[in-house]
Amino acid sequence: MTEHGLKPYLAGVAFATIFGFSFLFAKEALDYVDPLRLLGLRFMLAALVVTALVLGGLVKIHLRGKDLRPLLYVSLLQPVAYFLSETFGLGFISSSQAGMMIALIPILVAVCSALFLKERTSRLQWSFIILSMLGVVLIASQQGAGDGVGSLWGSLLLFGAVLAAAVFNIVSRKATQTFSPFEITFVMMWVGALVFNTLALVAHLRAGSLPTYGIVLLNTQVLVSLMYLGILSSVVAFFLVNYSLSKLPASQAAVFANVGTVVAVLAGVGLRNEPFYWYSAAGVLMILSGVWGANYFGGRQ
């Protein structure tokens, strides 16, 4: 499909699939642990894993002597700004409304990549990107038909997450010109671990519950969820995100994120016995068609 073959596209499908299942594991863990502590433990595990890979000689990084500011910008956008905005935003609005807002990410990425990276997106690609977004909106709006209207704060926070994710795609795409995908992922995991654990520890210190900070690790469900979120959904998935961004235009790589909606729907049907309605099938078809079209015609261009 491109000079890089199928690998970038397979990476896109893979990271979207991992992210899609992450909602199930996060939901299980949040029954026992607060959001900030979950983020702190998740990224600390991820940071330890990437460090073990480097110390074990399985992966090499070359950060010494380089200007690390681009990596800090990337890390502050994703995971820090994105996860903080999303986590606190979900406290004010429904998950269906959040899903509709998150679907805006490929649109913003296409706009930003045209402005800042001078990447060209054809009208045909735009039509498929919008088709994919409308598929997410269809599923989210029908599933949330009975939800109340979210607060202004929730909408603003979720838009902050969308903006952070869109700018992340642009900044990370530029960072791949100097750093390898693993080097970017390595710094992302450590910045996330330091920021989220600092915030969580301060919150627990103020609440007087600091001695019980790590006791949730004795819970099997929390531990299993952390293994998935910390290793697969952080280290592996973000490496695949950075790899796809190093090989594909940002507008094409970003549209794979909507595949996560498909995976989340199918996982709910298969693992949680949730109903599968006509709008689920229509939305899934729209998303997959949009992802295929945006990348197929982008590759031909």
Which residues does 194 contact at the CB level (< 8 Å), separation at least 6?
Answer: none
Best-predicted range by mean pLDDT (25-29, 165-169, 282-286):
165-169
pLDDT in tens, 247-294: 888 878 888 877 777 777 777 777 767 677 788 788 888 888 887 887
Query: Is the predicted pLDDT of residue 54 greater than 70, yes or no?
Result: yes
pLDDT band at 29 (very low <50, low <70, confident <90, very high): confident
- For position 229, what pLDDT does the model report? 93
For the chain, the three-class secondary structure string (H helix, E strand, C coil) is: CCCCCCHHHHHHHHHHHHHHHHHHHHHHHCCCCCHHHHHHHHHHHHHHHHHHHHHCCCCCCCCCCCCCHHHHHHHHHHHHHHHHHHHHHCCCCCHHHHHHHHCCHHHHHHHHHHHHCCCCCCHHHHHHHHHHHHHHHHHHHHHCCCCCCCCHHHHHHHHHHHHHHHHHHHHHHHHCCCCCHHHHHHHHHHHHHHHHHHHHHHHHHHHCCHHHCCHHHHCHHHHHHHHHHHHHHHHHHHHHHHHHHHHCCHHHHHHHHHHHHHHHHHHHHHHHCCCCCHHHHHHHHHHHHHHHHHHHHHHHC
pLDDT band at 4 (very low <50, low <70, confident <90, very high): low
Mean pLDDT of 44-66: 94
Mean pLDDT of 111-136: 81
- For position 271, what pLDDT does the model report? 73
Query: Is the predicted pLDDT of residue 122 greater than 90, yes or no?
Result: no
Mean pLDDT of 207-219: 90
- For position 6, what pLDDT does the model report? 85
- For position 94, what pLDDT does the model report? 59
Q: What is the mean pLDDT of the chain?
A: 84
What's the predicted TM-score (pTM) here?
A: 0.82
Query: Is the predicted pLDDT of residue 144 greater than 60, yes or no?
Result: no
